Amino acid sequence: MGPMQTIVKGRCAYEPTYHAMQAFTAARDSATADALWLCEHGAVYTQGLAGRSAHLLVPSAIPVVATDRGGQVTFHGPGQVVAYPLLDLRRAGYYVKEYVYRIEEAVIRTLRHWGVTGHRVPGAPGIYVRVDDPGGHARLEFAVTADKPDFAGLGKIAALGVKVSRHCAYHGVALNVAMDLSPFEAINPCGYAGLRTVDLSTIGVDVGWEEAAAALGQRLVQGLSP
């Protein structure tokens, strides 16, 4: 079994890519090599299985695609690296919770490459940065509320949603690089009202899509290996 194969698809439409992931996962067997697709999509909202239409606040011309991943509504658009690991979890030897942790860790290590400190927020998958001090290393202090994570001072820079079918994972993680962030204002990102979304350019990191995709892809391949 060879290592995970990285395929840079670049700009590609969301819906056919989604269906291709489903088809790849349905057709794979124990001998199929894992793959990592690195994509950039045109403007689209995607709704997770738990998604509630109430989180789409403002009607717009941007299409909404219902998907089978976990989570709520998010936005994909130009200037965002969307990474889809197509991974046999049973062969890799870990469960979904650790899989999500490893994806988040790969994003944190990618951000560290540019001097940015990524943070996890308990109960809210994805990676966040301190908007006023993106490179600071101070730990986050969380107000403990059972129903709503504390996002004070934070911006979400990477959204995560996965699906596991027959022990094989698809969907993945989206890292905001340099994009028009205004479509996020029309939604409650990942179901959280008032959660700010940022990208690398907002916090002072000037990097192109190809470089960001290569950096994230390399760390995902390293971090997801058994």
Which are the catalytic amino acids? 190
Instruction: Count the helix, strand and coil residues of the chain and give each as a percent rounded to the nearest 5.
Output: 30, 30, 40
Q: Residue 225, SS3? A: coil
Residue type, 32: T
Do 134 and 117 form a contact (C-beta atoms < 8 A)? yes
d(CA 19, CA 25): 10
d(CA 33, CA 120): 30
Give which of 149, 202, 159 is closest to 178, Cα–Cα.
202
Starting at the edge strand that comes first in sequence, how are the strands of the sheet with 64-66 ordered? 64-66, 44-47, 73-76
Residues paired with 124 in a beta bridge? 121
d(CA 198, CA 154): 9
